Structure 1
Amino acid sequence: MNNNKGRRNFIKKSAVIGLGATLSFDAVLPVVLNATGKPAVLGGRPLVGAPWPKWPIWNRETDEPLVLEALRSGVWSRAEKVTLFEKKWAALIGAKRALATVNGTNALITAVAQSDIGGGDEVILPPYTFIATLTAILNAGAMPVFADVNPDTFLIDPEAIKKKITSRTRAILPVHICGLPADMGAIMQISKEHNLVVIEDACQAWLAEIDHKKVGTFGHAGCFSFQNSKNLPIGEGGAIVSDDEAFMDRCVSYHNLGLPYGTASARPGSKLRLTEYQAAIGMVQMERLLPQTATRNENARYLVQQMKTIKGITPHTLTPGVTQAAYHLFPFKYDQRFFANLPRAQFLKALQAEGIPCSGGYMPLNDIKNLGNTFETKNYKKMYAASELSYERFKENNQCPKNETLCHEAVWLPQNVLLANKEAMDMIVSAIQKIQKNAAAIKKGTV
């Protein structure tokens, strides 16, 4: 699922067992297998029959007045509602300022471009992320450098970052993938020691926290996405947050045709302004984000404890100090050796057949195919020596073996699943147990 369509359709198709309020799971006991009979993938009855919470959520009575007000005003381009949305988002995240953009990808592109990152610079990023992180670096003419992940957390490993720093390293782009906070304490220490810019890709990490401080506010800037599948859905949209006033002035200028703004003089720019009705949708959805985030975290904690009782299933580990995750996705690792060597693809198909939406997640972003023809473009040829533009050299220098393994073991559950109730979490565990009990038959294709 290393492409836009696949990742977004994955959550869109996850269609209510019930929108539970925040649940309390003080006593966590292992789920006892209550699913017997033929596996659904072999023609049996699916364990889950009711639909999962639909996404996005829209309530006509409470949600439409503000949007209709924006539409009927005739003021559709950026104006007061976008400014208000930015102020509300900055306050919620705990940043001095926020700038809304047309999407998260362009939030990243803007933040990188206005951090004085360009040709000849190296930028460190993880290989386990969406392609937009890489796009922002390539768009600036910089050279991406991949640092391996910690497979327990699914996140970039600070120790791997240290090994990739050279005299040309300009920035680190840590990604809070799946809404799980990266180790920002260690990353910011590395940044301080080497005088590096840190831009947090928090496009999947709304309201995630480390020691009660929101991600996106640790580095020099943080970027968020509000695409339709996201925990704060607008359809399309993004935002940059930062406490650096001069940097934010440059970002405002860049997103508005490069026109002067505040302390920022005219510059090469783009047109990335959010509309008024998008901002209205965003403010409506923002009202739900706090209680939904609490519910996702409560269910995720319960699910982690239950999954730990199943051999061959290893739920993610949160970075020390995390006080809240966003859980845009709930990731865990699957070891087929404990499932009669049933390949992951068959495990996913069997789990889906039982009524549990899931996917295998990302493929390695450090694959040279994701560079496209970047190294063959006129600009890159002018900025780099021919030896630096060898795809084979790039591949050799950007090996991430732990990520390679992770990409073949990972399983994702979408965020809307975590909005269901405790019984629904038990059904997920029971479905995995049912597959494990019948793994040999599923692999063979017969009961």
Structure 2
Amino acid sequence: MKDPLQRRKFISKLSAGMAASVLTPSAVVHPFNINSSGRKLALKGGKAIFPSTKIGIDWPYVDDKVVDSVVETTKSRIWSRIQSRDGKVPTFEKVFADLIGAKHSVGTGSGTQALSTAVLALGIGPGDEVITSPYSDFGTISSILTARALPVLADLDPQSFQLNPDEVEKKINKNTKAIMPVHISGLPADMGRIMDLARKHNLNVIEDACQAHLASYQGQPLGLIGDLGCFSFQASKAIACGEGGAVVGNDEALMDECYTVQNRGSSRQGKNETIGPKYRMNEFEGAVLMGQISGARERFEKRDQNANFLNQHLKEINGLTPQKQYKGTENGGYYRYALSYEEDNFDGVSRTAFLKAVNAEGVPFSSYIRNGFHREPWVDHILGLKGYQTMFSKERLEKYKADMKMPNCDIVTDKTHISLWGSGLLLGSQEEMQGIVDAVTKVYENRDQLKDL
């Protein structure tokens, strides 16, 4: 087996057999076609690897514990967190802090609200600048705009899809108050270098860990490396309640400020102290979260295990490279499982054609984010607002517009990034993960069938 691909196919078959032998009795085994490489692609009329089946488990996660917790809250008539210090939300804050390894946690109504709370609690406001990634959910940007600060974008490392610290340093000026790295897909950003920059320039760091529940880097949980960390519990996330979020941290005074901000400016002592919106998590969100939190660590470990399995096998296919992990990355939250697609190594087959072919095999890879933030209309919108024209000089706003060039981000969005949603899919059996490997291999080995697309 000198041919690497033939060797890979042998290992693939062996792995599938081993996986089948260790499936637990409760595992769902789908009737899909293992090792269909060499056959006609499903896109061309062949039989799909996953015919009419869904990989993984239904999501959001629901079991009797979740239902019972919601019913209990309904019957209790304690529907707002301010009705009880022992309600579902205050209890969840303590449990989530323990789960993450934080001293303190404050619940919010969404991940975007968590980020906004962190920005406001750090005193960031009009005239200030926050450096962040152009590749994320728009809630990242929204949290900065809500404070009427200026979101400054820095380009990516195209292999990790993360904020590039070299580009961050170029954007630091006298108005910069914070860096907001995004742990995209649930893997850690280059936090060692980002924290070095923050210390060098006396900047705060807000970790957008909305996709990175329970992941860790250099012995530290994500969300606790910077000043504050923010998580999302939106319906698609690894811990979910429809909407919902949390801020975590170890600085008691700063976390008290987070509580005051999200409580429309009122402190725990009931004093109306500052400017703040009402971002409170409600008791029903807390009930759903408390119903599922006991299994969150186990599900996290299963996703990480399955992602590592996919990395091990898919990296052997010429033209696919798993998302780069920085030194010190210990594991990932895997909100998405991501790869770089290299068209040249697929004999010129476009990413669009590859995605159509692998989707037809029943594997839902996609390109994920269509545009970086620098190519969206909010930029021109804020530059036309009187408030921003008052807070920032004409020269600054002109340079801000001119700096909206992110070539690496454009490569990622337009050409290279492919990914699978992970919250439910990566909880599938190892046999299903093997099916994903076989589907991608089938497309690679029959790529000549895609030349006309």
Give the superposition deviation at 1:158: 1.7
- State the partner residue of 1:126: 133
Alignment of 1:319-398 (within 5 A): 319-362=326-369, 363-371=371-379, 373-390=381-398, 393-398=399-404
Q: 1:262 to 1:250 in 2, by over 3 A?
A: farther
Q: 1:361 to 1:233 in 2, by over 3 A?
A: same
- State the partner residue of 2:106: 99
2:64 to 55, 61, 67: 61
- State the partner residue of 2:275: 268
1:399 aligns with 2:405: yes
Please say if residues 205 and 325 of structure 1, whose CA atoms lie closer than 8 Å, have aligned partners that are also in contact: yes
Structure 2: distance between partners of 1:426 and 1:159: 38
Alignment of 1:73-112 (within 5 A): 73-78=76-81, 80-112=87-119
Alignment of 1:202-351 (within 5 A): 202-262=209-269, 266-351=273-358
Give the superposition deviation at 1:226: 0.1
2:37 to 31, 35, 40: 35
Structure 2: distance between partners of 1:122 and 1:347: 40
Deviant stretches of 4+, over 6 Å: none
Letter matched to residue 431 of structure 1: A
Please say if residues 97 and 103 of structure 2, whose CA atoms lie closer than 8 Å, have aligned partners that are also in contact: yes
Q: 1:134 to 1:58 in 2, by over 3 A?
A: closer
Structure 1: distance between partners of 2:231 and 2:440: 33
- State the partner residue of 2:49: 47
- State the partner residue of 1:147: 154
- State the partner residue of 1:28: none
Structure 2: distance between partners of 1:204 and 1:380: 30
- State the partner residue of 1:433: 441
Please say if residues 339 and 440 of structure 1, whose CA atoms lie closer than 8 Å, have aligned partners that are also in contact: no
Please say if residues 212 and 324 of structure 1, whose CA atoms lie closer than 8 Å, have aligned partners that are also in contact: no
Give the superposition deviation at 1:59: 4.5
Letter matched to residue 194 of structure 1: H
Letter matched to residue 425 of structure 1: M
Q: Secondary structure at the match of 1:317?
A: coil
Q: Secondary structure at the match of 1:323?
A: coil
Please say if residues 109 and 140 of structure 1, whose CA atoms lie closer than 8 Å, have aligned partners that are also in contact: yes
Give the superposition deviation at 1:188: 1.2
Which stretch shifts more, 313-322 or 250-259?
250-259
Give the superposition deviation at 1:438: 2.5
- State the partner residue of 2:427: 419
Per-residue deviation, residues 296-337 of structure 1 (Å, max 9, x unmatched): 111111111111111111111211111121111010011112
2:451 to 407, 421, 443: 443
1:72 to 75, 83, 99: 75
Give the superposition deviation at 1:57: 4.9
- Which consecutive unaligned segments of at least 5 residues does structure 1 have? 1-16, 23-31
Alignment of 1:154-169 (within 5 A): 154-169=161-176
Aligned pairs, number:
417
1:179 aligns with 2:186: yes
Please say if residues 233 and 282 of structure 1, whose CA atoms lie closer than 8 Å, have aligned partners that are also in contact: yes
Per-residue deviation, residues 175-216 of structure 1 (Å, max 9, x unmatched): 101000112222111111111010000000000001332100
RMSD of aligned C-alpha atoms? 2.2
- State the partner residue of 1:200: 207
Letter matched to residue 434 of structure 1: K
Please say if residues 56 and 429 of structure 2, whose CA atoms lie closer than 8 Å, have aligned partners that are also in contact: no
Q: Secondary structure at the match of 1:37?
A: coil
**TM-score w.r.t. structure 2 length?**
0.87
Q: Secondary structure at the match of 1:98?
A: strand
Structure 2: distance between partners of 1:395 and 1:282: 41
Please say if residues 57 and 427 of structure 2, whose CA atoms lie closer than 8 Å, have aligned partners that are also in contact: no
Letter matched to residue 315 of structure 1: P
Q: 1:395 to 1:314 in 2, by over 3 A?
A: farther
Structure 2: distance between partners of 1:205 and 1:136: 18
Please say if residues 65 and 292 of structure 2, whose CA atoms lie closer than 8 Å, have aligned partners that are also in contact: no
Which stretch shifts more, 131-140 or 241-250?
241-250
Please say if residues 183 and 189 of structure 2, whose CA atoms lie closer than 8 Å, have aligned partners that are also in contact: yes
Which stretch shifts more, 334-343 or 232-241?
334-343
Structure 2: distance between partners of 1:389 and 1:379: 12
Give the superposition deviation at 1:105: 0.5
Q: 1:232 to 1:388 in 2, by over 3 A?
A: same
Please say if residues 253 and 264 of structure 1, whose CA atoms lie closer than 8 Å, have aligned partners that are also in contact: no
Give the superposition deviation at 1:104: 0.3
Give the superposition deviation at 1:115: 0.8
- State the partner residue of 1:9: none
**TM-score w.r.t. structure 1 length?**
0.88
Give the superposition deviation at 1:243: 1.6
- State the partner residue of 1:8: none
Please say if residues 97 and 243 of structure 1, whose CA atoms lie closer than 8 Å, have aligned partners that are also in contact: yes
Which stretch shifts more, 98-107 or 55-64?
55-64
- State the partner residue of 2:120: 113
Structure 1: distance between partners of 2:271 and 2:41: 62
Please say if residues 55 and 229 of structure 1, whose CA atoms lie closer than 8 Å, have aligned partners that are also in contact: no
Q: Secondary structure at the match of 1:145?
A: strand
